[in-house]
Amino acid sequence: MKKGLIILTMLFMLMPLLSGCWNQKELTDLAFVMALGIDKGKDKKFKLSFQLVNPGNVTTGQGSGGGQGLPIAVYRSTGDTITEAARNATRKVSRRLYYAHTNVVVISEKIAKKDLLYILDALDRDPEFRTTTEMVIARGCTAEDIVTTLTILDRLPVNKITKQLKASQAMLGENMSVTVDDYLSALVSKGKQPFLNGYSLIGIKSKARKAENLQKTTTDAFLSSNGLAIFHDGNFRGWVDDDKARGIVWIQNELKSTDIVIPWKEKKKALVVAPIRSITKVSVHFVNQKPEIDIAINSEGWISEANTVIDLNNPVIIEKIDKLVEKEISRQILDSVHAAQKLKCDIFGFGDKVHITNPILWKKIQGNWDEEFASLKVNVTTDFYVRREGIRTLPFWSSMGK
């Protein structure tokens, strides 16, 4: 009898563990939000644009079961807060908005300048929303423009953005992945300011969201990454482009590869060198109780173009090329630092380095770090090595004598 009572008691204790389907959601009841655009209207209300996937039209082709319609549907809603605007969308959408697969949040420049802080908590607090979601700033257009643009190569426009940013980081080095979590980490840091990728709509905006945009080999409008947006205490300060953006990525130790153009004799754009591996180390030392930053870059790569008469078999010439590349890399790094110093935004985390190395001094200067950073001395040391010359060591230019 006693044994049976114990078994019965154990069964009752295990019953709560058997309710595994209490929170189940049917797929047919969900609307998957792939991208979220956030604008601000003239009435000062938040304007949300929801890029929803249309599963039946994502895959097309024989035997795939895909439809012939558009792969996405975009719904809009407004509200005084992000939560209110999101819930107001239920008046138009027949399914429950589901954010677990949201890959990109697009913020308008208008919001970035003064209202960005008012949307971050909603993104960070919702347990369904992933803070690993990419954040980008709509540059020269609205967030709605970005979210509603149809793309050719990628059926889902959101994939165009995420894949293109990765490709840019891997091959060009002027962008890098910045998530909601990355932005918040830099925002709350005392010695680092955040930055985000810029994204633009290029071409005829009125045709970007039309189905005919998918029926051409070259579209009338397309999405493109466009610089880095620099912030200070959560407010937009300015844009950094091209080599200066590349330098920022380089200092973050996130550069995968890029192209470095260097002169040779009388030709200004004679050689192109592509780094394939690069390591950046940032340290700090102190001179008379003033911090100085040391940036050391160790990189290697290969010669991808040689548009001049040159003997790439000669180790002396290769050594000269190494020095020219080192000089160009150092220039780009310093240009990036000077651009950030002009904006008084320590996006590199130099302040964190000072804090870790000398917490007593940091306690004295952290209240005035923006000014300290603006006049901070930065030293750059670059070591570059050409490891490969490609499949041709003697360019055809040599045979032509040009």
The pLDDT of residue 395? 67
- Using the predicted structure, report yes or no on whether residue 8 has a pLDDT greater than 80: no
The pLDDT of residue 58? 66
Angle between helix axes 315-343 and 242-251 (nearest 10 degrees) is 100
Q: How far is CA 295 from the centre of its chain?
A: 22
The amino acid sitting at 312 is: L
- The CATH architecture to which 254-402 belongs is 2-Layer Sandwich (3.30)
Question: What is the rounded average pLDDT of the residues 122-150?
Answer: 90
Look at the chain and count its residues.
402
Q: How far apart are CA 142 and CA 47, in angstroms?
A: 10
| Position 152 confidence tier, pLDDT thresholds 50, 70, 90 | confident
Residue-wise pLDDT for 381-396, tens only, equals: 999 999 887 766 666 6
| Position 270 confidence tier, pLDDT thresholds 50, 70, 90 | confident
Q: How far apart are CA 199 and CA 76, in angstroms?
A: 20
- Indicate the average pLDDT of the chain: 86
Residues 317 and 273: beta-carbon distance below 8 Å: no
- Using the predicted structure, report yes or no on whether residue 62 has a pLDDT greater than 50: no
- Using the predicted structure, report yes or no on whether residue 344 has a pLDDT greater than 90: yes
Residue-wise pLDDT for 156-206, tens only, equals: 888 889 998 888 888 888 999 999 999 999 999 989 999 999 999 988 887
Residues 179 and 102: beta-carbon distance below 8 Å: no
| Position 64 confidence tier, pLDDT thresholds 50, 70, 90 | very low
- Using the predicted structure, report yes or no on whether residue 92 has a pLDDT greater than 70: yes
Q: Residues near 182 by Cβ (< 8 Å), separated by ≥ 6? A: 194
Beta bridge partners of 232: 235
The pLDDT of residue 335? 95
Decide: helix, strand or coil at residue 328. Answer: helix
Residues 255 and 339: beta-carbon distance below 8 Å: no
CB-neighbour burial class of residue 94 (10 A; exposed 0-12, middle 13-18, buried 19+): exposed
Percentage of the chain beyond pLDDT 70 is 87
The pLDDT of residue 156? 83
287-304 burial string, b = 16+ CB within 10 Å, else e? eeeebebebebebbbebe
The domains of the chain are located at 26-240, 254-402
| Position 72 confidence tier, pLDDT thresholds 50, 70, 90 | confident
Q: How far apart are CA 245 and CA 261, in angstroms?
A: 16
Tokens representing 354 are 């000072």
Residue-wise pLDDT for 276-328, tens only, equals: 899 999 999 999 989 999 999 999 999 988 888 888 888 999 999 999 999 99
The pLDDT of residue 85? 92
